[in-house]
Amino acid sequence: MSSLNLVDFVRGIAPTSYAVDSRLVQPGALFVALRGAQTDGHAFLQSAQSAGAVAAIVEEIVPADLPQFVVSDALEALAELARLRLADLKGVQVFGITGTVGKTTAKDMLAHLLGGPPAQVHAAPASYNSEIGLPLAILSAPRDTQKLVLEFGISHAGDMSPLTAIVNPAIVWFTALTQVHLDGFNSFKELIAEKTKLMHGQVPPEYIWGEPSVLDAVREAIPNDCVKERVFNLCERSLQGLPGEWQLNLAPFGLVDLPVVAYHEAVLAATAASIALDVGIALTEIRARLNSLPRPSGRLEWHKMGTISILNDAYNASPASMRAALEVLAQCPTQGRRIAVLGTMREMGDAALSLHQEIGRFAATLSLDLIVGIGDFAEAYVSPSRAAGTQVFLASDVDEFTKTFAPQLRQHDFLLLKASRAEAFEKSLPELKASANHLAQRPETTT
């Protein structure tokens, strides 16, 4: 593949957007036909054209009335397009966020505190943090972007190098290092080593942010003495309150109300505020923006229907995020039952059973009224609580849970939905909401 020819081709068609999924093609888009394990983008060229694609990058010519540029590797072409876009973003400051949990929440918070689109700040859409997602995130950046906030995600050994071959962030933020994606690594230590490769691109970062325990874990991998650490250490007395009502008292921000649910979200917000201040954002602007922090879908979304509350935290799951979510549930004020609805944590490798049992034991130590276990590790979740005399409920999948449990909701119930994204717990929300709304129409009874 000739980079010059690719440049000429792309500039000649002047696409207004880029897509690898024909269902997401917008009029004016350049469609990149990728070959995957399950599908082949070449089979969807006609669909892309019908949706408004103006051209396609392919590995072989496909019968379609659409200009096509042939390359030997479409994924590498996508990376090259991202590098070309970065070269066009003169003087852009790149922020790279990695870690095992909290990346998307941190990314959205930081972009908001930096000023968002009105301040020429662009953040990766959703969780675009992979070898496919990262270049698409860069390609979606407007040409006047001054600050680019990106996520760097990995699932297997070797995943980070293709990302750093595209872009080297000037500021790196490690959100957390916990046990996730273990089936893609030989050990947790290997996972950490892969994460730290973000600091070893062609251009090392200027600053590395993280809490003390996180920076301690990566310190040996920091490339050279010229990289400056920014240790964020939030004392417990600086953050007080209950879920949904946290107050941050941190110099130089003063007392600020944070519209977040969990303690770890408040820590992310405080870190993001410190990063924004460090890169020159005005203190008054950061304070004002802290009151309106965005929150990603599926991450501790608080749904309230009458007297019933549901915390939907089923976008992903790991032992650390499970514990954090369960602690939130245990702390939430309610007159009714605290109900933990727990599903499978995916990608835990050979440690899967023991890690699910560990969460089951942890849940049994909290002030919870009902533990619901769903899926392959349901029994591991509920056994310790059953032994302790706490009520439990088992279901084979989310459909069975929804059908059998929704009618059993009571006034003032507080539910946590927590599982990996593949478990599709969000499918239960409409029925749970319907039952909750039905209850809300009925007068409360007293005994």
For 16-38, the pLDDT digits (tens) are: 999 999 999 999 999 999 998 88
Compare 364 and 320 and report the one with higher pLDDT: 364
Handedness of CA 416, 152, 89, 4 (dihedral sign): negative
pLDDT bucket at 445, cuts 50 / 70 / 90: low
Q: What pLDDT score does 443 carry?
A: 65
Tell whether omega for the bond before 294 is within 30 degrees of 0, i.e. cis. no
Q: What pLDDT score does 184 carry?
A: 77
Sequence ranges of the domains in the chain: 3-74, 89-290, 301-440
SS3 16: coil
Q: d(Cα 437, Cα 212) in Å, to the nearest integer?
A: 45
Q: What pLDDT score does 237 carry?
A: 57
Evaluate if residue 275 carries a pLDDT over 90: yes
Kindly report which listed range (183-192, 355-364, 415-424) carries the lowest average pLDDT score: 183-192
Greatest mean pLDDT among 130-144, 224-238, 262-276 lies in: 130-144
Handedness of CA 378, 360, 153, 295 (dihedral sign): positive
Evaluate if residue 422 carries a pLDDT over 70: yes
Q: What pLDDT score does 18 carry?
A: 97
Whose tokens are 């003390």? That residue is: 212
Evaluate if residue 4 carries a pLDDT over 80: no
Percent of the chain with pLDDT over 90: 61
Question: How far is CA 37 from each of CA 42, 70, 254, 408, rounded to the nearest angstrom?
Answer: 13, 21, 52, 42
- In this structure, how many other beta carbons lie within 10 angstroms of the beta carbon of residue 259? 15
- 378-387 and 352-364 are packed helices; what angle lies between their axes, rounded to 10 degrees? 30
Evaluate if residue 447 carries a pLDDT over 50: no
pLDDT bucket at 1, cuts 50 / 70 / 90: very low
Q: d(Cα 175, Cα 133) in Å, to the nearest integer?
A: 19
Which contiguous run of DSSP H or E holds residue 111?
helix 103-114
Q: d(Cα 311, Cα 417) in Å, to the nearest integer?
A: 6
Evaluate if residue 240 carries a pLDDT over 80: no
* Length of the chain measured in residues: 447
Whose tokens are 């290997």? That residue is: 190
Q: Which CATH superfamily is domain 3-74 in?
A: MurE/MurF, N-terminal domain (3.40.1390.10)
Domain at 89-290: CATH architecture: 3-Layer(aba) Sandwich (3.40)
Q: What pLDDT score does 304 carry?
A: 87
Compare 249 and 446 and report the one with higher pLDDT: 249
Evaluate if residue 226 carries a pLDDT over 80: no
Per-residue buried b or exposed e for 20-30, using 16+ beta carbons within 10 Å of the residue's own CB:
bbbeebeeebb
Q: d(Cα 410, Cα 133) in Å, to the nearest integer?
A: 42
Q: What pLDDT score does 214 carry?
A: 85
89-290 and 301-440 agree in CATH topology: no
Evaluate if residue 282 carries a pLDDT over 90: yes
For domain 301-440, give the CATH number: 3.90.190.20
Kindly report which listed range (191-200, 217-226, 329-338, 422-431) carries the lowest average pLDDT score: 217-226
Question: Which of 340, 342, 338 has the alpha carbon at shortest distance from 412?
Answer: 338
Kindly report which listed range (80-84, 261-265, 285-289, 396-400) carries the lowest average pLDDT score: 261-265
Evaluate if residue 236 carries a pLDDT over 60: no
Question: Which of 185, 139, 136, 137 has the alpha carbon at shortest distance from 159?
Answer: 185
